[in-house]
């Protein structure tokens, strides 16, 4: 991850002058997507296509980092994405070394799903960063790092979430459907 971060910084630095936004494709977009994934803003894979989900992730990042919210990666947004990337990579590796690592089957859900109350089993609002687990595998309240999703808290349960299954909360039903089903690596922190 540290090597990736260093490569990203050098690969993206030449794009600092250009704005990267909707409809663009290529290595620069893929590098930005990887930075967003590593920071927990994008849960999809880095496909190198700047589409709606990448734009929404950029907007969330901009909002949480005091930047102008336009969904475009310009010089300031790129600098903020790169800021402390090497340090964060080292900190993440230090946090997950020696902890339990699980390979799990992941699905996604949202507060917008039909029949969902929007409240977790522990009484919190359902939002990104909350996951549903089997409490016999991962106790409720446990902090996690899920590769390709980011940091999360085991805060919910579900009838179909048994054994090594995990349900990742997304911000919208559309994002949850796009995530689909996939295998993920879960680091118990």
Structure confidence at residue 92 (pLDDT): 56
Chosen CATH of 22-94 out of 1.10.510.10, 1.10.645.10, 3.30.420.40, 1.10.101.10? 1.10.101.10
Structure confidence at residue 83 (pLDDT): 81
CB count in 10 Å sphere of residue 143 = 12
The residues spanned by each domain of the chain are 22-94, 98-186
Structure confidence at residue 15 (pLDDT): 45
Structure confidence at residue 85 (pLDDT): 61
Top-level class of domain 98-186: mainly beta
Structure confidence at residue 76 (pLDDT): 92
* Model pTM score: 0.57
Distance CA 49, CA 172 (A): 20
pLDDT block averages, 10 residues each, the chain of length 189: 44 57 89 85 82 90 91 92 65 59 94 93 95 97 88 94 96 90 89
Structure confidence at residue 10 (pLDDT): 43
Q: Say what angle helices 27-38 and 85-96 make with each other, to 10 degrees.
A: 50
Structure confidence at residue 98 (pLDDT): 45
Structure confidence at residue 93 (pLDDT): 56
Structure confidence at residue 26 (pLDDT): 85
Question: 72-109 burial, b if ≥16 CB within 10 A, otherwise e?
Answer: bbbeebbebbbeebeeebeebeeebeeeeebebebbbb
Distance CA 36, CA 4 (A): 13
Q: Could you identify the residue written with the tokens 């496909």?
A: 47
């Amino acid at each position: 991850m540290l090597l990736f971060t260093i490569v990203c910084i050098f690969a993206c630095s030449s794009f600092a002058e250009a704005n990267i936004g909707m409809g663009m494709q290529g290595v620069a977009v893929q590098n930005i997507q990887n930075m967003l994934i590593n920071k927990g803003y994008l849960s999809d894979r880095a496909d190198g296509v700047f589409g709606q989900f990448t734009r929404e992730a950029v907007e969330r990042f901009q909002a949480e980092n005091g930047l102008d919210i336009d969904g475009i990666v310009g010089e300031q947004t790129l600098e903020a994405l790169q800021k402390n990337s090497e340090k964060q990579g080292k900190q993440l590796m230090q946090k997950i070394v020696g902890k339990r690592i699980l390979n799990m089957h992941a699905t996604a859900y949202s507060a917008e799903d039909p029949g969902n109350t929007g409240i977790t089993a522990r009484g919190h609002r359902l939002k990104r960063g909350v996951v549903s687990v089997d409490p016999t595998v991962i106790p409720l309240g446990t902090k996690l790092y899920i590769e390709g999703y980011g940091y999360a808290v085991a805060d919910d349960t579900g009838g179909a979430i048994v054994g090594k299954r995990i349900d990742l909360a997304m911000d919208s039903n559309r994002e949850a459907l796009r995530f689909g089903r996939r295998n993920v690596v879960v680091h118990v922190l």
